[in-house]
C-alpha cells in the first residue's frame, strides 16, 4: 500500500450527500495525484476509482489486477474483463466500449450519478453521459483540500525527500566553493567553465543516489536569477548572486521536497548583500507568522511588510511590479510540488499538518535574484521546520 493510502475521505462523502450524487469517479493514471491519493495505487495506464458512501472500488486491467489487490486502498478491485471489456470494444469501438464498461462497473455498484474532478477527460464524461450516467463537476477541489493535511507517514516521506535535497544542495555548494576563478570571473572546474548545466547534473545525480528524481532544477546566475521562472544556463560567474532551487520527488513514495538557497562566490556587492539581508528578514518574519488558524494571506503579508519596509516593491504595493518581490510567499508541497494551501494574497486558514514552503525573494536584472526557501509543517502554535540547511 502506498504512503497515502487509507486516508480520511469524509469531506468527499459529505460532498456526495450535499450534491445528491451516488459516488465520486476518478479516471486517470497514477501520475494524477488525486488518483494516487484516493486509490492508494499507481499504474502507468488510466484506471478508474469509485468512492461511494461506504467503500472504494477499483476497475483495472487484468495486468494490474494482482498488484492492485495487494497494494491499493480499495475495498474491492474488479478486472475490466468482468464487464466484457474486450467484447464491448470489438462491438462498439475503443471509446464507446470503454464507456460501456465503466457504466457497467458503476451499475454494479448501484451508481447512476457521479461527481468528477474538473480534470476528468471530456471523452470519459461525454461517453458516460451517452450511457445515461449523470456526470457533474466537483469544482471545489475537495480531494486537493484533503491532501493538504499530511499524515505522519506522509510527513516522513517528505522529510526523506528533503534529506536528499540537502545532500544535493551541499554538492552544489561544494562545486561553487571549490571552483577556480578565471581572470574574467568565470568559475572553472578542471579548467572548464562551471556551468549551470553542470551543477544541475551533479544535483540530479546526487538526488538519484538518494532515491529521488526530478524533471527540473534551477541554478540561475546573475540576470537569469532575477527571473523567478528561469532555470538558468551557461557559465557561472564570481561576484554574482546564484539562486539554486531544488524540488525533488522520491521515486517510491511520490512525495516532494523543496528548498532554495542563494550563493555567491567572491563579492556580489553592497546592494546584493542588502537584498540578501532583507530577504532573510522577510523569511524570518513569514516563519514567525506561521501557525494554525493564521491565513496564508497573513503570512504573505508578513513577508511583504518587511520587503516594502526596506523600500522594494512587492505585487501588493504594485500589482504590475517587474522587480522586487514578484511572486507568492509559498505553496503546499506533497504528491504535487505545487499544491494546496496557498501562502499568497488568496491564502486561506492554515491547519495543523499543512506542509508549506516559505520562500520570499527580491529580483532585479541589474542586481540579480535572491530567494531563501524552507519547507515547514504547520503546528498548533507555530511550525516545525523540515529543512536542515545553513543560511548565510
Which residues in this chain contact a second copy in the complex, by CB under 8 A? 44, 63-64, 95, 116-126, 135, 137, 139, 201, 204-205, 208-209, 213, 215-216, 229, 251
Q: Which is nearer to a second copy, 268 or 347 (CB)?
A: 347
Cell of 4: 497515502
> Closest separation between CB of residue 93 and a second copy, Å?
8
Find out whether 10 and 53 touch, Cβ atoms under 8 Å: no
How many Cα atoms occupy the beta-carbon half-sphere of 334 within 13 Å?
30
Closer CB to a second copy, residue 53 or residue 201?
201
Smallest separation (angstroms) from a second copy to the CB of 382? 31
In this complex, which beta carbon is closest to a second copy, that of residue 41 or of residue 276? 41
Strands laid side by side in the 374-379 sheet: 339-343, 330-332, 355-358, 374-379, 382-385
Smallest CA-to-CA distance from 328 within 297, 305, 306 is with 297
Least distance (Å) between residue 116 CB and a second copy: 6
Q: Considering the complex, what minimum distance in angstroms separates the CB of residue 348 from a second copy? A: 14
Residues 6+ apart with CB under 8 A from 3: 153, 154, 156, 157, 253, 254, 255
Question: Closer to a second copy at the Cβ: 55 or 205?
Answer: 205
Least distance in angstroms from the C-beta of 345 to a second copy: 11
- Torsion angle of the four alpha carbons 18, 23, 25, 30, in this order, in degrees rounded to the nearest 10: 100
Q: Which is nearer to a second copy, 20 or 44 (CB)?
A: 44
Residues 6+ apart with CB under 8 A from 318: 324
Q: Which three cell numbers stand for residue 126?
A: 461525454
Q: Name the minimum Å distance from CB 298 to a second copy.
A: 20
Q: Which residue has the cell 542563494?
A: 262
User: Please, what is the minimum distance in Å from the beta carbon of residue 354 to a second copy?
Assistant: 20
Quick count: other Cβ atoms within 10 Å of Cβ 111?
20
Shortest distance in whole angstroms from residue 305 CB to a second copy:
23
- For residue 157, what are the contacts with CB-CB under 8 A and spacing of at least 6? 3, 250, 253, 254, 255
Return contacts of 318-325, CB within 8 angstroms, 24+ apart: 323/226, 323/363, 323/364, 323/365, 324/362, 324/363, 324/364, 325/282, 325/360, 325/361, 325/362, 325/363
Nearer to a second copy, 8 or 29 (CB): 29
Q: Which is nearer to a second copy, 117 or 347 (CB)?
A: 117
Nearer to a second copy, 95 or 280 (CB): 95
Amino acid at each position: 500500500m502506498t504512503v497515502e493510502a487509507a486516508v480520511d475521505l469524509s469531506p468527499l462523502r459529505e460532498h456526495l450527500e450535499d450534491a445528491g450524487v451516488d459516488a465520486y469517479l476518478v479516471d486517470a493514471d497514477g501520475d494524477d495525484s488525486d488518483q494516487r491519493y484516493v486509490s492508494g495505487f499507481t499504474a502507468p495506464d488510466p484506471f478508474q476509482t469509485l468512492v461511494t458512501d461506504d467503500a472504494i472500488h477499483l476497475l483495472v486491467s487484468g495486468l494490474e489486477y494482482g498488484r492492485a489487490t495487494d497494494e491499493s486502498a480499495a475495498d474491492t478491485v474488479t478486472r475490466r474483463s468482468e464487464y466484457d471489456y474486450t467484447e464491448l470494444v470489438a462491438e462498439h469501438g475503443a471509446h464507446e466500449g470503454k464507456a460501456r464498461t465503466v457504466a457497467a462497473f458503476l451499475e454494479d455498484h448501484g451508481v447512476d450519478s457521479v461527481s468528477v474532478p474538473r480534470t476528468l477527460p471530456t471523452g470519459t464524461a461525454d461517453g458516460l453521459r451517452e450511457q445515461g450516467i449523470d456526470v457533474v463537476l466537483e469544482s471545489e477541489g475537495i480531494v486537493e483540500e484533503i491532501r493538504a493535511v499530511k499524515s505522519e507517514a506522509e510527513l516522513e516521506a517528505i522529510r526523506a525527500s528533503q534529506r536528499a535535497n540537502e545532500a544535493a544542495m551541499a554538492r552544489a555548494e561544494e562545486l561553487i566553493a571549490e571552483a577556480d576563478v578565471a581572470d574574467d570571473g568565470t568559475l572553472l572546474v578542471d579548467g572548464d567553465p562551471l556551468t549551470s548545466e553542470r551543477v544541475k547534473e551533479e544535483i540530479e545525480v546526487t538526488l538519484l543516489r538518494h532515491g529521488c528524481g526530478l524533471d527540473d532544477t534551477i541554478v540561475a546566475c546573475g540576470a537569469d536569477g532575477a527571473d523567478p521562472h528561469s532555470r538558468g544556463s551557461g557559465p557561472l560567474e564570481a561576484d554574482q548572486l546564484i539562486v539554486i532551487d531544488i524540488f525533488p520527488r522520491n521515486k517510491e513514495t511520490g512525495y516532494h521536497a523543496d528548498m532554495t538557497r542563494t550563493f555567491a562566490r567572491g563579492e556580489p556587492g553592497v546592494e546584493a548583500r542588502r537584498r540578501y539581508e532583507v530577504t532573510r528578514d522577510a523569511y524570518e518574519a513569514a516563519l514567525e507568522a506561521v501557525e494554525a488558524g493564521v491565513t496564508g494571506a497573513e503570512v504573505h503579508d508578513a513577508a511583504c511588510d518587511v520587503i516594502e519596509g526596506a523600500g522594494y516593491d512587492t505585487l501588493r504595493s504594485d500589482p504590475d511590479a517587474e522587480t522586487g518581490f514578484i511572486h507568492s510567499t509559498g505553496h503546499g508541497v506533497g504528491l504535487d510540488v505545487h499544491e494546496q494551501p496557498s501562502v499568497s494574497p488568496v491564502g486561506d486558514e492554515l491547519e495543523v499538518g499543512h506542509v508549506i514552503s516559505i520562500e520570499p525573494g527580491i529580483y532585479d536584472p541589474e542586481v540579480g535574484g535572491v530567494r531563501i526557501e524552507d519547507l515547514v509543517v504547520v503546528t498548533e502554535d507555530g511550525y516545525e521546520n523540515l529543512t536542515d540547511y545553513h543560511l548565510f
